[in-house]
Amino acid sequence: MKSPTSRFLSTVAFVAASTVASGAFAEDIAIPPLMEQINGGNWLDPAEAEELRHEQFYQRAIYAYHTMLPALNTIGMRDGSEAAFGEGYNILPIWKDRMDSRTWVPTPNADVIYSMSYLDLKETGPLVIAAPANVIGMFTDFFQRTITDVGAIGPDRARGGLYLLLPPGYDGHVQSGYFTFESSTYNVFLFFRTVMEQGDDGPDPAPAVAAAERTRIYPLWEQEKDVEPMEFPNASGQRVDMMYPVDNTFWTKLKDFVDYEPTAAITPELRGVLASIGIVRGLPFEPSEKERELLQKAVETAPKMILASRQLGRKDNRHLYYEDRQYERAWAGGTAEFMQDGYLDTDQRAGFFQYAYSSAPAMVMRTIGAGSKYPVTSRDADGNFLNGANTYKLHLPPNPPAALFWAVTAYNVTDGSMPETPQLMPSINGFNTVAENEDGSIDIWFAPELPADVPETNWIQVVDGRDFMAVLRLYGSDIEFYDQTWRPDDVVKVE
């Protein structure tokens, strides 16, 4: 015997069915918008569903490339350096004869002495770094987020001092007397620059090398007798590939990094993106043949997308230094972490790490006489891209506002490496013997061959037919730059 409720529901169903059958309310029947949009509320055709799943995988891989490029940028530098010079906290390669185009690394600087190493706090525990005086440097985690500046903008204020780097989540005893910082990743990038002095015929690297070789690195709890002696291999004058991967090793190196670092080093949302392409901490990374094909496609297409964004520029023009000139700022008015007012500028960050590395507050803050600035241009005064088939002139007004020194360097546009020519160092700096005009201004020339009637000291050689960009460096940038009473001229095409 049916209950009253059952009898009521049966009656309602019968009436509804009869009403529909009679067509009494047919004109009122509708379906929600999404059902109407997607196949009338039915499942997709299996072939279409599989195609869409592949498309989502590919898009996630593109996004993962954009967001993980800062880490792969650092991993590429570490792997290239350690393959050439060895690994260990005590090994600090120094480009003792300056860096030239044989070192493949994004936007290297031939006008200071570089010291770069890669520390592993999981292996060593807390590390002490005795930084020399007058270093221009930083420590960053492997996402190139600044742990601290070192030098004039750092806590040692260019006097040098003891920096103590703690691994993520360290809860042991910490002695006072150090500049103490905790890293968000076990891997840490050490990047020191020491400034050359004026020599008899250009810059003299010897004092800067001697200063860099005063660096000491040792585990906090290690006895002096057990500390590995420092090694300072000379990295100059040899081919060293320190670039990030351009094939599917991008993903395998990323997987190794995800497995090695603590969970908190990557946000849960970004871990979800990585998980969607099969990269999960502690689990095997086993993409199918189709997925490997899509990952390869992503690692080829994503850098083109980043390059296209750099090429076309921003609609808001925040990347332009001046109202009437072509010079761009790498951070587009954001912070060293690429934060704008209320959002993380992911496109600007990806563009930066395609052609550069090391982002620190000292590069962004408007510090008088201590920080550094890097106006960069890839266009001439008419807005056309700089190309090595042409001859160009860059006019620098007198007295560049750089308390330490100024420099101008040419770079390849794609990855920021130096164009390799017989000149090897496509750079001119304030320590060089440079011909000046009567008012103290300087003309610098870019061309594949030395232009007629141009002093060789003022010529930067570029590759015929290849696009390039020019970077002006101002170390110890001063107020004339910030208030724009001193401004470099645009690069002008001469022929």
Domains present along the chain, CATH in parentheses: 60-314 (2.60.40.1610), 366-493 (2.60.120.600)
Mean pLDDT of the chain: 93
Query: Both tokens of residue 1?
Result: 């015997």
User: pLDDT at position 21, please?
Assistant: 47
pLDDT band of residue 27 (cuts 50, 70, 90) is low
Kindly state the average pLDDT of the residues 36-60: 96
Per-residue pLDDT tens over the stretch 315-343: 999 999 999 999 999 999 999 999 999 99
Q: What's the confidence (pLDDT) of residue 201? A: 81
Query: Quick one: pLDDT at residue 18?
Result: 47
Report whether pLDDT(16) > 90. no
pLDDT of residue 371: 84
Q: What pLDDT shows up at residue 193?
A: 95
Q: What percent of the chain has pLDDT over 90?
A: 89
How does residue 28 score in pLDDT terms, banded at 50, 70 and 90?
A: confident
Residue 182 β-bridge partners: 166
Rounded to an integer, the average pLDDT of 408-431 is 95
Note the pLDDT of residue 307: 98
- Which residue has better confidence, 69 or 371? 69
State residue 13's pLDDT score. 45
pLDDT of residue 32: 94
Average pLDDT of 486-494?
97
| Residue 198 pLDDT grade (very low, low, confident, very high; cuts 50, 70, 90) | confident
The string of pLDDT tens digits covering residues 202-225 is: 889 999 999 999 999 999 999 999
Q: Token pair 């000491």 is at which residue?
A: 216
Mean pLDDT of 177-197: 97
> What's the confidence (pLDDT) of residue 11?
43
- pLDDT at residue 12 above 50? no
Lowest-confidence segment of 21-35, 186-200, 381-395 by average pLDDT = 21-35
According to the model, what pLDDT value does residue 165 have?
Answer: 98
Q: What is the mean pLDDT of residues 15-34?
A: 63
Averaged pLDDT for residues 440-449: 97
At 97-124, the pLDDT tens digits run 999 999 999 999 999 999 999 999 999 9
